[in-house]
Amino acid sequence: MTDSTERWGKSVCVPGDEDREQERGSGGGLAGSMADVGIYMDNAATSFPKPEAVIEAMADFMRNVGASSGRGAYRKALEADKIVFRARQAVARLLGVADVSRVVFTANATESLNLAIKGLLSPGDHVVTTSMEHNAVWRPLKAVERTRGVTISQAPCAHDGTLDPADMEALLRPNTRLIVMTHASNVTGTVMPVAEAAAIARARGIPLLVDCAQTAGVHPIDIERLGLDLVAFTGHKGLMGPTGMGGLYIRGGLDLVPLKDGGTGGDSMLEHQPEWLPDRFEAGTLNVCGIAGLGAGVRFVLEEGVERIREKEAGLLRRLLDGLSEIPGLEVYGPRDPARQVAVVSLNVRGVPAEEVASRLDREYGIMVRAGLHCAPCAHRTIGTIQRGAVRISLGYFNTEGDVDRCVEALAGIARAAG
């Protein structure tokens, strides 16, 4: 306990780590103790800690199963198949998808977005996106602009990251082939009007691709009720799984050109990728260990309930925003309203570079946050921080009120010193 207390910094009131762990509550057991690592507030990058069931599922696969899925008739291979199916089924259930085969596994949301964008757009096509996108959307779009002559229009968002759907609709053209937008910004947490965008897209018969990297698992998503066409998600954030796992939902009747071709298992006589999903987009041996972890993570989220997770994170966010509003010398970006954002807040301390703030939070207070542009220069341009970047605090389901209070106190200390 002494070691970790020292890590929090002498100026901050630190209750016993045992109390903090009790307050954290796991609802299912946590892998690793937060007391060992400090206060983790970089959940928008990767969630931590993970439910114990995630580690157990991965270890069980590595120890006791070990086989490739879809590649054998022996029982261990069939067991691997079943692990993959049950994970796919859990994701489909969480995201509101009836046909499990429409959920395709990838390495991460970036691969999913690349598959959707590069698999759909042809020379001469036009695409509409927003000014709050992550590079996982922006760079594939710039790539097809350069290689295929695709044209891009960016709907302007307000300084807090909010989008007026009418501004998006005004950009549509007869050759608009795709609308791409994030569900929630990874910089400001701003939740985008996806339902309105879906209605606009449907009325024009244009597919809508939604980047749910920041929302899957922490904000309700009902794909079929909203009528979404393509939904990219990652497994290692709100879905509580390991890194290296993600996926893409592809609506029935919408075909994409696969990003990769290769072996898919039982249909080896075919000379091309099979037409049916998910095999069409899953060439090569799957990351079954990662899928086992993702499945356990999603089942954890289903058991806890997305509404409950969102409620807890919204409460922590409210506390954080209230605390930050009391600190002179802070610039806080985004809606500053838990009803309109996920638990991500970006800010700057006047007179102190973002990187220095993040570094001091870590070294002096044991609080882990991320500084810089967060792979989203579009978003930082929109909120006016493209030159200086920002400090991003992203809360998770396992953070506590105590964590939030210590973060606020730490920032108050840094702001006071910069005075």
Q: Per CB under 8 A, does 13 bind another protein?
A: no
**Cα–chain center distance at 163:** 19
Asked if 8 and 365 count as a contact pair (C-beta separation under 8 A), the reply is: yes
Q: Per CB under 8 A, does 266 bind another protein?
A: yes
Query: Which CB sits closer to another protein, 92 or 367?
Result: 92
- Shortest CB 75 distance to another protein, Å: 7
Q: Per CB under 8 A, does 274 bind another protein?
A: yes
Asked if 132 and 344 count as a contact pair (C-beta separation under 8 A), the reply is: no
Q: Within 66-125, which residues bind another protein (CB under 8 A)?
A: 69-70, 73, 75, 78, 81-82, 84-85, 88-89, 99-101
| Opening angle at CA 201, ends 196 and 202, nearest 5 | 100
# chain residues binding another protein, by CB under 8 A:
26
- Shortest CB 280 distance to another protein, Å: 10
Query: Which CB sits closer to another protein, 70 or 241?
Result: 70
Query: Which CB sits closer to another protein, 73 or 339?
Result: 73
- Shortest CB 279 distance to another protein, Å: 5
Q: Within 123-142, which residues bind another protein (CB under 8 A)?
A: none
Query: Which CB sits closer to another protein, 44 or 84?
Result: 84
Q: Which of 265, 290, 297, 396 binds another protein (CB under 8 A)?
A: 265
375 is catalytic: yes
- Shortest CB 65 distance to another protein, Å: 14
Q: Within 323-362, which residues bind another protein (CB under 8 A)?
A: none
- Shortest CB 1 distance to another protein, Å: 46
> Of 179, 268, 189, nearest to 227 (Cα)?
179
- Shortest CB 294 distance to another protein, Å: 15
Query: Which CB sits closer to another protein, 81 or 211?
Result: 81
| Catalytic residue chosen out of the listed positions 13, 157, 212, 375 | 375
Q: Per CB under 8 A, does 22 bind another protein?
A: no
Interface mask toward another protein for 32-71; x: CB under 8 A: -------------------------------------xx-
Distances from the Cα of 279 to the Cα of 104, 257, 309, angstroms: 8, 13, 33
Q: Per CB under 8 A, does 417 bind another protein?
A: no
Query: Which CB sits closer to another protein, 81 or 160?
Result: 81
Q: How far apart are CA 179 and CA 226, in angstroms?
A: 15
**Cα–chain center distance at 79:** 29
Q: How far apart are CA 333 and CA 322, in angstroms?
A: 14
Candidates 242-250, 255-263, 273-281, 367-375: pick the segment binding another protein (CB under 8 A). Answer: 273-281
Query: Which CB sits closer to another protein, 267 or 401?
Result: 267
Query: Which CB sits closer to another protein, 254 or 418?
Result: 254
Overall residue count recorded for the chain in this entry: 419
Asked if 224 and 198 count as a contact pair (C-beta separation under 8 A), the reply is: no
The distance in angstroms from the start CA to the end CA of the chain is 32
Candidates 58-66, 263-271, 337-345, 401-409: pick the segment binding another protein (CB under 8 A). Answer: 263-271
Candidates 266-274, 283-291, 344-352, 408-416: pick the segment binding another protein (CB under 8 A). Answer: 266-274
Contacts with another protein, residue ranges (CB under 8 A): 69-70, 73, 75, 78, 81-82, 84-85, 88-89, 99-101, 264-270, 274, 276-279
Catalytic residues: 375
